[in-house]
Structure 1
Amino acid sequence: MARRRANVLSENAEVARGQILKAAESMFQRYGLSKTTMDDIAKEAGVSRPTVYRYFGDRDTLITALIELRSRRLFDKARAFLRERTTFAEQIVDGLIFLVDRGRHDPIVRLIVSPEHMDMATALIGSTGLAVRLTQEMWAPLLDEARERGEIREGLTDEEICQWIALVQLILVGRMDFGSEGDPENRRMLTNFLLPGIVTEEAAEQLRSGGAAATPTH
């Protein structure tokens, strides 16, 4: 297992948490999720196991923090990608394909959502509400803009929309048969089955017909 390194943990709590998470990433990739222990992570970080527990109360808390860290890194890239799209219909379809594809290529995410760990992933990401919170963090600014343009169906809250998006994304990330980012079947499925539940009929039809959704006039 991991050989203990010299203690180089920062005195800054946030920096120290980041160092421990970096050590955890290294150990999970080296030994796998099931075989990596908190002692392995502590040795890689150059600290004692009680020190790791001081920053992360248990293993699930550490893994959850790692999911949040990896997700936010991906969100920064996704937001830049989505700013090139002019309507929410385009953003949600292209954005989900982008996030799922990048998530499946992320070594840590791939480990967590692998079939052998799917029960744990469901408990950590789904049951705790983490998936919805992260989804709201990613999509809330875009939803605000889409509402101003009149693209979102009446009567839907951001939380309801993000619950639906989070569920679809979690299912797609865990699918072993999910094709490449350019697979037209992925786009067709999201356009025909996800989109109508979120955007107006006009916005959905505009995307299906290959055009940008017109901004409604009020």
Structure 2
Amino acid sequence: MSGGAMNGGDHRLLLAEPESDVGGVVLDAALAGFVDVGIRRTTMNDIARRAGLGRATIYRRYPDKDAVVEAVLLREMRRFVQWLDERVDHITDPAEQVVECYVAVVGGLRRHSLLNRLMAVEPDDWLPALTADWGGVLAVARGYLAEKLRGHQSAGRLGEFDPEPVAEVFVRLAHSMMLTPTGCIPESDDARTRAFARAHLVPVVTG
């Protein structure tokens, strides 16, 4: 998940882009292969077979497997953010939005089929990618959350503070919970995760 498209840390990359029918079929086929056997064992021939397309058709859109991997991961991030927006965008109270955003992110990452599969079958490849190489992804996530906090500030629902470091605290906590879930911070039960967020995270935002 350390693709070059994420290295700039621009959360606007999470906005949906038009996707051709063929491109969607290719990415769906690649995703199915990655979930079934992992990225390393999925070849361009496998992707073509699953998609029912010729290799030449795929190579016209994606020059190599790395380009397919990056496109799949970027689309997964976009889908995750769209799902998250559906969960939290209607909440106007900043404290409750913070709580539900944290619960959704922790639970969503815990249940993410591709992420779980990669960590199970290719941990040696993906643990470095999810730690030292994930700075760009964390920056994207920080920008996404900081933008929501700025929206509350503009609406007069939050006081004045720099939302970037606050957003980074939340993002790094969620990242840590994804990598090492075992501890005293609840992550496997939404009700307990919600209570933790309300008691310990909301004060960081509301003061």
Alignment partner of 1:118 is 2:127: yes
**2:25 corresponding residue in structure 1:** 19
1:23 CA displacement: 0.4
1:25 CA displacement: 1.3
Higher radius of gyration, 1 or 2: 1
**2:52 corresponding residue in structure 1:** 46
Tell me how far apart the structure 2 counterparts of residues 46 and 169 of structure 1 sit (CA, whole Å): 38
Which amino acid in the other structure matches residue 131 of structure 2? T
Which amino acid in the other structure matches residue 98 of structure 1? A
Tell me how far apart the structure 2 counterparts of residues 150 and 19 of structure 1 sit (CA, whole Å): 43
**2:171 corresponding residue in structure 1:** 166
Higher relative contact order (CA 8 A, sep 6+): 2
Q: Is the 8 A contact 1:24 1:41 kept in 2?
A: yes
Q: Specify every segment of 5 or more residues in structure 1 that has no aligned partner in the other structure, as ranges.
A: 1-11, 202-218
Runs of 4 or more consecutive aligned structure 1 residues displaced over 6 Å after TM superposition: none
**1:97 corresponding residue in structure 2:** 103
Tell me how far apart the structure 2 counterparts of residues 53 and 123 of structure 1 sit (CA, whole Å): 30
Identity %: 22
Q: Which range is displaced more, 75-84 or 99-108?
A: 75-84
Tell me how far apart the structure 1 counterparts of residues 45 and 200 of structure 2 sit (CA, whole Å): 46
Tell me the matched-pair count.
182
Which amino acid in the other structure matches residue 180 of structure 2? R
Q: Is the 8 A contact 1:67 1:109 kept in 2?
A: no
Tell me how far apart the structure 2 counterparts of residues 161 and 96 of structure 1 sit (CA, whole Å): 13
| TM score, norm. by length of structure 1 | 0.66
User: Secondary structure of the equivalent of 1:122?
Assistant: coil
| TM score, norm. by length of structure 2 | 0.68
**2:115 corresponding residue in structure 1:** 109
**1:136 corresponding residue in structure 2:** 143
| Alignment match of 1:151 (pick from 158, 161, 173) | 158
Q: C-alpha deviations, 1:102-128, integer Å up to 9, x for none? A: 23222113224558132233366x13x
* Cα root mean square deviation, aligned: 3.1
